[in-house]
């Protein structure tokens, strides 16, 4: 491993810390998270891959584990999670899916929240994959949609999800949406559409909030 790759997590963590410390942040929807926690305790966070960076700051130190791919870039992200005092479950739909599912289940049973990019790691953008729905169905735990937006950012238009990197001195917001439950007899395609609509709605709400 090159020296630059070894140092990359520390640079990334430092940058995210600068972004977070200089942001004027607020949160909405805390009542939805509180309602979800009253069910059994842990929750399954759902968000779009495009805006994962800012969550590294807003959820630092939380009792949570994030699903991270087994790629080389995923290793950097996992190290950033460690520096942010969060855990990582390694795997994706294309590599290590079964092992990741077991680790996510174990983490929930141990009382950790888990967080999953519904459309990651390779898309299609803003299309919910089945894994998060199976997890919610098996455990009976609620999915909590979460969104963020910042007023100053860099967007990469050639990335499959138009990936965003927040910039310092931004207005920022994090929104928790209404919990979604997946019952034993629920149609997963219908639930995927319900989750997509919920996520798109709060992302649009977040975008409006930082542009006012």
The pLDDT, as a whole number, for residue 178 is: 97
Token pair 């963020």 in the structure block, residue: 148
Tens digit of pLDDT for each residue in 50-76? 999 999 999 999 999 999 988 888 899
Give pLDDT tens digits for 84-130.
999 999 876 556 678 888 999 999 999 999 999 999 888 999 999 99
Distance CA 52, CA 30 (A): 19
Residue 130's nearest CA partner among 178, 180, 89, 189 is 189
Contact 86, 62 (CB under 8 A): yes
* pLDDT at residue 28, rounded to an integer: 97
Average pLDDT across the chain, whole number:
94
The number of residues making up the chain comes to: 212
pTM listed for this prediction: 0.94
């Amino acid at each position: 491993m090159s020296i630059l790759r070894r140092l990359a997590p520390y640079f990334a963590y430092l940058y995210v810390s600068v972004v977070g410390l200089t942001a004027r942040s607020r949160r909405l929807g805390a009542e939805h998270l509180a309602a979800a926690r009253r069910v059994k305790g842990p929750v399954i966070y759902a968000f779009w891959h495009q805006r994962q960076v800012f969550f590294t700051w807003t959820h630092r130190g939380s009792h949570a584990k994030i699903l991270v791919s087994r790629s080389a870039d995923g290793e950097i992200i996992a190290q950033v999670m460690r520096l942010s005092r969060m855990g990582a479950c390694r795997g994706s739909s294309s590599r290590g899916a079964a092992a990741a599912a077991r680790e996510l289940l174990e983490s929930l049973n141990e009382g950790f929240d888990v967080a999953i990019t519904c459309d990651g790691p390779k898309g299609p953008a803003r299309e919910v994959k089945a894994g998060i729905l199976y997890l919610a169905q098996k455990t009976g735990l609620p999915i909590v949609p979460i969104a963020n937006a910042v007023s100053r950012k860099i967007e990469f238009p050639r990335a499959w999800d138009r990936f965003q990197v927040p910039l310092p001195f931004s207005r920022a917001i994090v929104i928790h949406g209404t919990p979604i439950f997946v019952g034993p007899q629920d149609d997963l395609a219908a639930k995927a559409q319900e989750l997509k609509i919920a996520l798109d709605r709060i992302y649009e709400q977040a975008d409006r909030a930082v542009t006012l």
